[in-house]
Each structure stands twice: as structure tokens, then as C-alpha cells.
Amino acid sequence: MSLLVAYLFIPPGILGILFVFVFAFSIYAQYRVSSAYGKNSKILSRGGISGREAAAAVMANGGITGVDIEETEGHLTDHYDPGKRKLVLSSENYRGTSLAAVGVAAHEAGHALQHKEGYHLLETRMALVPVTRIAAGAAPFLYIASFFLFRGSSGLILELAIIAFSILTVFQLVTLPVEYDASRRAKAQLVSLGILDRDEMPGVNQVLDAAALTYLAAFMAALLNLLSLLSRRN
């Protein structure tokens, strides 16, 4: 849910100040991603390896078979789907040979390595996905409705909103180490496999580290929304 919408319902005080901070941090995180990706998407890797080839090399080195690498439309729509065992890359990263393309593709391959290894936090996130989708769809409506209906401490709408944001907060909390670990694996593989030289890694670091900020911002937003609801219950 938009922090801007949430902020309209927060009374002045410490929570209001925190909402302004988190809202500003979210904008900063998005700016960092856009800036880092835009800059490093223009820097071609010396080896000329595409994002698809980099992802395939990382998975092959990890002994992963049976995972399809597919191309999709959109900007930064890249993801790894453990349920369908497929790695999806946006066209700019699937075909691109830039530092940004190779870094993003290797990051998604890092999730495939986690899946094969049975990385427990990835499995936890996978288990949370179905209920999180339901919570994410209901949370905005429950949050807004809780200000107009059932204002008492035992109000059903307020309790449902708290449950929804608790789920979102836990999901975002689990996502943080999963994403950081995937980036760590990607960076190590790119160098060890000779896909990139060490002096090319700062560009990859800029892109992946900036992306990590967006996950941190998402966790902070979910947690702050949850805290604001809890403060109204008691």
C-alpha cells in the first residue's frame, strides 16, 4: 500500500515523522536503482556475455538442470519462479551484455542455487507466498476501512488489517536475507567463472546493492503500517 495514502491517516507525532522518513527512503531507494541500472546498462562487459548466458553459466556451475530461462517484456521484470522452475529475464537483461544485465541475471540464478541447495529462508518465503498474495490484496482496503468502521479495540476490520500487515511484514523480513544472499552468490560466481573481471564488479555491486535498498524500504513500510495499526488497537 502506498505510504503516501497511509500517511494521510497518521496523526502528528513520532509515527508521522517515521512515515515521512520511510516515504523519503522509499523514493531514494527507487532513485538509486534507476540511477545505478541506467548507468551500468550502458557499460558493456568485456567478455560480451549476455544475461542469459551468464545465468546459464552460473546454474550449470551449480549443477542445476531442468530450469528454463525465458525472456519477458517490461523493465526489471526479472525473477526466478521456484514453483515452475524457470528463470525469467526482461529483454534488456536477457539479450544485453552490459554490467547491469549480467549482474541482474546472475542474481536471479543465485535464487536457483538457493533452491537447489534447499536454502531454508527461500523455502520459508515460498511457503508464505500464497497467504501473502491474499494479504497484499486485502491490506490496502482493510487499512483504510479500519479508520471508518469498527474503531473499538475489538473491531473486526482493525484486527483483520493487523493480521494482513503482520503477514506482509514477516514476508518482507524473510525476503531481505534471501535477496542479499542471492546477490552474494551472484557476485562470487561472476568472478570465479571469469564472466567478469574484478575491476568490472563495482558496476554490478552498484546495481545489486541499490536493488537491495528497495527490499529494505518495503520491509520498513510494512512494519510501520503494522505499528500504526497496533498503536490504535491499544
**Is 200 known to be catalytic?**
no
**DSSP character at residue 10:** P
Q: At what angle do helices 99-117 and 51-61 cross, to 10 degrees?
A: 30
Contact 5, 144 (CB under 8 A): yes
| Alpha helices (H) in the chain, listed in sequence order | 3-7, 14-40, 51-61, 91-94, 99-117, 120-145, 156-192, 201-233
Per-residue cell: 150: 469498527
Q: Of residues 53, 70, 92, 108, which has the active-site annotation?
A: 108
Type of residue at 56: A
* Nearest to 7, CA basis, from 18, 25, 19, 17: 19
Catalytic amino acids?
108
